[in-house]
Structure 1
């Protein structure tokens, strides 16, 4: 699937930085996705509990109120329908130890910032349901 093709995914972007929210939204829209934004892990849990349906979650790791690692652990342990949604770490922390921490928390994949259309497209392609 090329960057010009539409992925048609509904994505929850969990990110506290407004510039990063805007960049993620624009990139996702360019790739044919829709998204909602939560500003921290607790807000993400609230959105998921509202029974809205998402294909994927982009989760920042370092946020106030509840960070991405704790939010991911709570999502995975919830027993809810959303417990198995693919969660992709969306973070500026790109060291191997950060990737290990994300996987240990239950995240499925890792995308470091700054993100490009090509990087976003490549990551989404791994998680599109065939």
Structure 2
């Protein structure tokens, strides 16, 4: 699984990298929102399976990145990218934040500092999805879990990751 980590703090970046390597994930890094958009717009770069996006960054913050990803070209023209889960990372999570971020186009919210068990749950929840037509023969696509509604029952990977 390939992850794009958008985080300006090098300590958080290093922690996330270590945790992702424990789950055998590959990653690309962006240190601000503009770098993330440049990475995603470049067809030479591998499309991420999941994007972890910090909220407060220099140059361009997570809220602006999320808005651009969900509303502007070339991102809205890419059905894979439109259905890529975006996990917001914030150290200032408050009650109700999940719904606010989801209404803005995020898939989920992860509190910092990062904990291995929470990251594992996020990876299990948002990984292993396939892009399929929303209706047969239609232009709109959706991502659906490959594992079905009971992912742990169908999981065949190393038990040490669970």
The alignment's TM-score, normalised by the length of structure 1, stands at 0.88
Deviations 1:37-89 (A, max 9, x none): 10111110000011221100000001111110110111111313222210001
**Partner residue of 2:153?**
none
Query: Which aligned segments of 4 or more residues in structure 1 are displaced greater than 6 angstroms?
Result: none
Partner of 1:89 in structure 2?
88
For residue 54 of structure 1, what is the aligned residue in structure 2?
Answer: 48
Alpha carbons 1:70, 1:105 under 8 Å: kept: no
**Partner Cα separation in structure 1 for residue 58 and residue 34 of structure 2:** 9
Give how far 1:105 is off.
2.1
Greater relative contact order structure (CA < 8 Å, 6+ sep): 1
Judging by fraction of residues, say which structure has more helix: 1
Q: Which TM-score applies when normalising by structure 2?
A: 0.71
Residue in 2 that maps onto 1:4 = none
Aligned to 1:36: 28
Is residue 67 of structure 1 aligned with residue 61 of structure 2?
yes
Aligned length: 122
1:1-130 residue pairs with structure 2 within 5 A? 9-51=1-43, 52=45, 53-77=47-71, 78-81=75-78, 82-129=81-128, 130=146
Structure with greater Cα Rg: 2
- Cα RMSD after superposing both structures: 1.2
Unmatched segments (≥5 aa) in structure 2: 129-145, 147-162
